[in-house]
């Protein structure tokens, strides 16, 4: 009888609680014991009450909730081997032999590292007399499965991450509110949206809200972008638009990687185009609220698949990450997905925007 733990880690996202619910219930339905690790890797390193057995009714009502009801944290201790050694001891103490982690690329990298190190961690526990040889005997292999939870949709190999469509929906609602007042006063608004190195939220918000101009990290504007943007906004005004919406991704920069700040865009629209311009930073509103239908569906189908992957895994199976590709729930290599994700960030950092765009495109066409 397997004992499967689920954890949320890194930045919170709507749908994470739904994923926990699905993993807990599918685990129980499969005749196994379910556990939740509270506060991300922090709970794994602390152990004790931070790792709780979960029952069917413990996750009642969690499907629609925003954020994560088992908490999340950034944990420095887990990045070091002594922290991971303590985590291994705590898992063995609870009899847990499989871990499902819902988080971003950092969390999933940590998970794969943990699994890779597991045999040597177990050996060290015995050597240091933190566990006896008999205690570690049933725990020769750790089973790890990743679920991608992030509002940014910044993970390669999957079309959507759990939380990204809820966040996009929230951004659209906010822009709709701004639209009404912008239209009334004929104002321009510069709206900063989240996404870190990824422009997905900004691009999709731009499309969904009919923005005049969008700034993305992967595809920075031309070197003469100040003039280009002002010309486009002026043209739209000439054509009769009463409002102007410019969306700036938080990671936006020019072709020399200098950040493009909403305040600079505002000054251009005010001084060069002569528009009454305001800046709105949407901030953490983008993470809040209930999970949209798509994220509930994704969290549930992927949570179920994660438990199936645990039950079918052999010691030789590479750690999988559960993805969605062309509307199908699929398993992919966790390490490959993380490596491909880092490639996009590396391409941006080395100003190879063509490759960054191609890699992002591949995610949609793969
Ligand atoms: P995200 O999962 O959203 O990308 P982070 O990058 O902050 O967020 O990672 C969340 C947590 O995962 C970190 O606080 C740390 O505990 C763990 N982690 C991240 N990278 C590693 C790593 N290379 N090795 C071990 N643990 C890591």
Q: What is the pTM of this model?
A: 0.96
**Which residue has the CA at smallest separation from atom 22 of ligand 1?**
110
Tens digits of per-residue pLDDT, 136-190?
Answer: 999 989 999 999 999 999 999 999 999 999 999 999 999 999 999 999 999 999 9
Q: What is the DSSP letter of 145?
A: E
Rounded Cα gap, residues 162 and 149, in angstroms: 5
pLDDT interval class at 193 (50, 70, 90): very high
**Which residue has the CA at smallest separation from atom 16 of ligand 1?**
75
pLDDT interval class at 361 (50, 70, 90): confident
Taking the alpha carbons at both ends of the chain, their separation in whole angstroms is 37
Which is it for strands 277-281 and 244-249: parallel, antiparallel or unpaired? unpaired
pLDDT interval class at 366 (50, 70, 90): very low
Tens digits of per-residue pLDDT, 87-105?
Answer: 999 999 999 999 999 999 8
Instruction: Report whether pLDDT(365) > 90.
Output: no
Task: Say how many Å lie between the CA of residue 108 and the centre of ligand 1.
Answer: 7
Catalytic annotation, pick one of 152, 154, 212, 295 = 152
Tens digits of per-residue pLDDT, 13-38?
Answer: 999 999 999 999 999 999 999 999 99
Tens digits of per-residue pLDDT, 329-355?
Answer: 999 999 999 999 999 999 999 999 999
Instruction: Report whether pLDDT(306) > 60.
Output: yes
The verdict on whether 256 is a catalytic residue reads no
Q: What are the distances in angstroms from CA 279 to CA 24, 175, 219, 232? A: 43, 12, 22, 19
Q: Among residues 110, 163, 79, 105, which one has the least CA distance to residue 344? A: 105
Task: Say how many Å lie between the CA of residue 107 and the centre of ligand 1.
Answer: 4
Q: Among residues 177, 211, 234, 218, which one has the least CA distance to residue 363? A: 218
Q: What is the mean pLDDT of residues 299-321?
A: 95
Q: What residues does ligand 1 touch, defined as CB less than 6 Å away?
A: 9-11, 41, 74-75, 78-79, 103-107, 109-110, 113, 150
């Amino acid at each position: 009888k397997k004992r499967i733990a689920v954890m949320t880690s890194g930045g919170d996202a709507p749908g994470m609680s739904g994923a926990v619910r699905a993993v807990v219930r599918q685990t129980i339905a499969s005749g196994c014991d379910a556990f939740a690790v509270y506060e991300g890797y922090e709970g794994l390193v602390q152990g004790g009450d931070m790792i709780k057995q979960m029952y069917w009714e413990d996750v009642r009502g969690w499907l629609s909730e925003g954020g994560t009801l088992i908490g999340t944290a950034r944990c420095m201790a887990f990045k070091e081997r002594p922290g991971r050694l303590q985590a291994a001891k705590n898992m063995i103490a609870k009899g847990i032999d499989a871990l499902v982690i819902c988080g971003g690329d950092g969390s999933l990298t940590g998970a794969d590292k943990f699994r890779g190190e597991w045999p040597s961690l177990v050996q060290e526990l015995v050597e240091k007399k933190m566990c006896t040889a008999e205690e570690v005997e049933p725990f020769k292999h750790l089973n790890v499965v990743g679920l991608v939870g992030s509002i940014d949709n910044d993970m390669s190999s999957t079309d959507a991450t759990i939380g990204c469509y809820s966040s996009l929906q929230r951004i659209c609602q906010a822009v709709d509110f701004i639209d009404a007042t912008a239209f009334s006063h004929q104002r321009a608004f510069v709206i900063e949206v989240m996404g870190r190195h990824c422009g997905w939220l900004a691009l999709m918000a731009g499309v969904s809200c009919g923005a005049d101009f969008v700034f993305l990290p992967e595809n920075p504007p031309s070197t003469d972008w100040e003039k280009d943007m002002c010309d486009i906004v002026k043209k739209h005004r000439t054509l009769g638009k009463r409002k102007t919406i410019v969306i700036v991704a938080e990671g936006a920069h020019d072709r020399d990687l200098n950040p493009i700040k909403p305040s600079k865009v505002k000054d251009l629209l005010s001084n060069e185009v002569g528009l009454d311009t305001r800046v709105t930073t949407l901030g953490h509103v983008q993470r809040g609220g209930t999970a949209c239908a798509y994220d509930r569906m994704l969290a549930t189908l992927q949570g179920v698949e994660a438990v199936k992957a645990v039950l079918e895994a052999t010691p030789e199976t590479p750690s999988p990450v559960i993805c969605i590709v062309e509307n199908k729930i699929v398993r992919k290599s966790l390490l490959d997905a993380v490596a491909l994700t880092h490639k996009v960030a590396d391409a941006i950092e080395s100003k190879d925007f063509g490759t960054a765009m191609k890699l992002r495109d591949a995610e949609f066409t793969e």
